[in-house]
Amino acid sequence: MRTVELSRENVRLIDQRRLPNELVVMACRDYHEVGEAIKTLAVRGAPAIGVAAAGGLALAAQALKDRSEPEFRAGLESAAAELRATRPTAVNLFWAIQKVMDFAATQQGRPPEDAADALYHFAVGMAEADVATNKRMAEFGQALVADGAGILTHCNTGSLATVDYGTALGVIRMAHEHGKQIHVYVDETRPVLQGSRLTAWECVHFGIPATLITDNMAAHMMRLGNIQICFVGADRIATNGDTANKIGTYGVAVLAKEHGIPFYVVAPTSTVDLAIASGDEIEIEERNHEEVTHIGGVRIAPEGIGVANPAFDVTPAKYITGIITEAGIAYPPFPVNLKRLLQGGNQNVGP
């Protein structure tokens, strides 16, 4: 199945908190449950939470379809506000909600029942578009992968982080499907372990040769010559190319630069936030400290210790070789070339 599946009755999600030990599908029956699933990381990954939120809004519309038009609109607005408040960093969430709300505005004057139906189809279309976008990015990205390459990736950017196929892991998957002999080094990605729990699970599932490493082994693997290229995803990309992604990404980028290894970000254009000039303007989510002090419910740090748990960091643009989108690959200078890509310019703009 897909990671996110929409229907008029529910939003079905692979519950990522249970992987890799159990593959369980959960059904969210209203937008409150979708919001809770996003907050608790049952569904996670920038594109996946965007589509899940769109599905949540479609559920809200279904629940409001017998109300008056003003009540329908007010109800949708309040659902959108609740869903926006779930997680702050990934712009795809806000982008997807805005897209649905803009579409809802075009339905003004129609009976709520018809508008709700149209909204449901719109959200389903967004889910489909996500898969097509990922495959386009994967085609662009896989062309950069040499036969025999060792590839480092961080966090989970695969099918589980999207509706299907993935962003950075989608590139890796397509290189594998094209018959390239690749080997993936999977950062475990402390503290929530999206690498060891989810990316490793996808690699095993798809038969992609891979080795799991702890985050602090990346430098060593690079020095040994095991890594020829890095692919990571993104939660928000500023106009200047600064990229927020899972905590630890910045360190990988600095290491890659030091070792002369190309470092690529793979993300749909919906992850680019032209409303902000640089990464300094990106809000970094601070999550529950138990994610750091506990593993699998077992305490691994003493009571009373101070803890920080930023879920994301910002990689300055100067460490990024290129940004792979469904519209093509942007190379530095990003302020010019990202804009060009978004405005429908050439594929592969720059260097």
Catalog residues that contact ligand MRU under the rule CB under 6 A.
Answer: 44-47, 90, 155, 157, 161-162, 167, 194, 233-235, 245-246, 311
Instruction: Calculate ∠ Cα 189-191-298, nearest 5°.
Output: 130
Nearer to ligand MRU, 84 or 110 (CB): 84
Nearer to ligand MRU, 153 or 239 (CB): 153
Nearer to ligand MRU, 62 or 243 (CB): 243
Nearer to ligand MRU, 179 or 296 (CB): 296
Active-site position among 130, 235, 242, 273: 235
Instruction: Report yes or no: 165 and 3 within 8 Å, Cβ to Cβ.
Output: no
For the CB of residue 33, give the shortest distance to ligand MRU in the complex, in Å: 18
Which DSSP category does 328 fall into?
E
For the CB of residue 31, give the shortest distance to ligand MRU in the complex, in Å: 19
Residues in contact with 108: Cβ distance below 8 Å, sequence separation at least 6, in sequence order = 69, 73
Residues in contact with 349: Cβ distance below 8 Å, sequence separation at least 6, in sequence order = 328, 329, 330, 331, 336, 337, 340, 341
Is 235 catalytic? The answer is yes
Distances in Å between the alpha carbon of 319 and those of 74, 204, 239?
45, 30, 15
Quote the CA–CA distance of 236 and 238 in Å, as a whole number. Answer: 7
For the CB of residue 154, give the shortest distance to ligand MRU in the complex, in Å: 7
Of all residues in this chain, which one has the CB nearest to ligand MRU in the complex? 233
Residues in contact with 138: Cβ distance below 8 Å, sequence separation at least 6, in sequence order = 165, 166, 170, 171, 173, 174
For the CB of residue 84, give the shortest distance to ligand MRU in the complex, in Å: 16
Active site residues: 235
